[in-house]
Amino acid sequence: MRVLSELQPREVFHYFEDLTRIPHGSTNTKQISDYCVRFAKDHGLKYIQDEHNNVILFKEGTPGYEASDPVIIQGHLDMVCEKTPESTIDFMKDPLEISVDGDFVHANGTTLGGDDGIAVAYAMAILAADDIPHPPLEVVFTVDEEIGMLGAAAMDLSMLKGKTVLNIDSEQEGILLASCAGGATAKVVVPMTYTQSELLQYEVVISGLKGGHSGVEIDKCRANSNMLMGRLLYGLSKEMGFSINGLRGGLKDNAIPVETTVQLFVPQGAGAQLEAYLKNYESVIQNEYKTADPDIRVTFRPAGMQKASVLDGVSQTAVIFLLMNLPNGIQAMSADIPGLVETSLNLGILTLDEAFMASFSVRSSVSTARAALLDKLEFLSEFFDGKLEVSGMYPAWEYKKDSRLRDVMVEVYKDQYGKEPEVQALHAGVECGILSGKIDGLDCISYGPNMYDIHTVKERLSISSAQRVWEYTLEILKRLK
């Protein structure tokens, strides 16, 4: 097994390995932010660290480039923290366990953080070098991108002079992103009431789903465990009486949930009927998702007769109604760009205690369509005396018809690869939209090396692709004189 220090480009993987040793999940970014500051001090670079842990690093242009227009290199410091049930890693304090398998770097039992650690590693390797030609650099590291681009939204960028942004936060080599959807986090919150009961308890779990990024993989026809649970409960309600509490599903609103659990309570003697229904439901959804999501499982564990607080009839009906009627997935495809998802949402987190809470990542490249979708969620919430909480609103990044940066990047790509890159729009959100809203006339492109299954425990980074994109980036900087 090779270690990261043996990989090429060595200078990039040196910094990437450092990052994997520092806990840096969203909202837990102080350590990695301070690491960036230490890096700046060690290399004699001017820096700014704000109260949110965002960091900006500055470096003058190399000889011959001193008078060139500054270039902004941008990425985010936080990562999505997902792990297998068997993993014992504490994301708040433990380093990741990294392995190399052939052409891929991955983490053992957890997400890797290649999204967006590779951008930070590229930028640090460039800043640390004294033999790479480049214009003046303004390197922007943001925080809490994965939970709504909160760091970029709060960041003061008034001191930046650059109008050209290399956003290294994409996962497909050869694709240059020139536009993206806007979005928001929306939480449906409906109050619940409970009653006491003594019934036969079962823990029921829907698991084994592929999951994935709610923007990038929303069009892959993968199942959402929260929505599958709603369907399970409604179907069961037509077969027999039951009560529920303890409903939980998903960890991130922007990750398609892979597991949802509910505590079901049925009358004594009804266990066999419940188990038969659950086994049949499993076979039904396994057949429906046999291609897109083939490993779905419905498991159950009886816990005997239990006294418990369960939802009363009105609240339980509200929960099942909402899970059957809250929108989820693709809502509209773009009429202008073939194959592009225009509007979608993902029910990523589901909880049930004093209130029913469903948290969505809402995305659209059309602001009015996003507003209409939020209106729908609000109306459904209010119908059950609930409310809709909207946060993390970020704008769409509109396509720039005339782009010097895009022209340079296409030219460099053709010279390096011998073919044209694909210039695309993206349904997932990237921080270029927020940056463009703060800096007039910004020219942005988002790109990056091949990464697979980001936001899941199967996340992996291609080593050979990282090498090629490193060489590509250096040539772009060389030509932006």
Instruction: Please report the DSSP string for 385-423 in residue order.
Output: T-EEEEEEEE--BPPPSS-HHHHHHHHHHHHHHSSPPEE
Q: pTM of the entire structure?
A: 0.72
Q: H/E element holding 177? A: strand 175-180
- Give the closest residue to 137 by CA, choosing from 164, 168, 155: 164
Same topology, domains 4-181+396-479 and 185-394? Answer is no
Q: pLDDT tens digits, residue range 139-160?
A: 999 999 998 789 999 999 999 9
Q: What is the pLDDT of residue 1?
A: 40
Whether a cis peptide bond, with omega within 30° of 0, leads into 116 is: yes
**Helix locations, 131-184, DSSP H:** 150-154
Rounded to the nearest 10°, the torsion over CA 346, 187, 258, 77 is: 90
- Report whether 475 contacts 166 (CB < 8 A): no
CATH 3.40.630.10 for the 4-181+396-479 domain, yes or no: yes
Which residue stretches of 144-247 are H helix?
Answer: 150-154, 225-237
Report residues of the chain scoring pLDDT below 50. 1
472 secondary structure, DSSP code: H
Tens digit of each residue's pLDDT (9 = 90 or more) over 273-307? 999 999 999 999 999 999 999 999 999 999 999 99
CATH (one of 3.30.70.1880, 3.30.70.360, 3.30.70.20, 3.40.50.920) for 185-394: 3.30.70.360
Domain residue ranges of the chain, discontinuous segments joined by +: 4-181+396-479, 185-394
**Core vs surface per residue 382-417: b (16+ CB within 10 A) or e:** eebebebeeebbbbbbeebeebebbebbbebbeeee
Q: Exposed, middle or buried: residue 284 (CB in 10 Å: 0-12, 13-18, 19+)?
A: middle
| Residue of 403, 365, 387, 445 lying closest to 167 (CA atoms) | 445
Place of tokens 């509910």: 262
Residue 5 pairs with which residues in a beta bridge? Answer: none
8/26 Cα distance (integer angstroms): 28
Tell me what pLDDT residue 213 has: 87
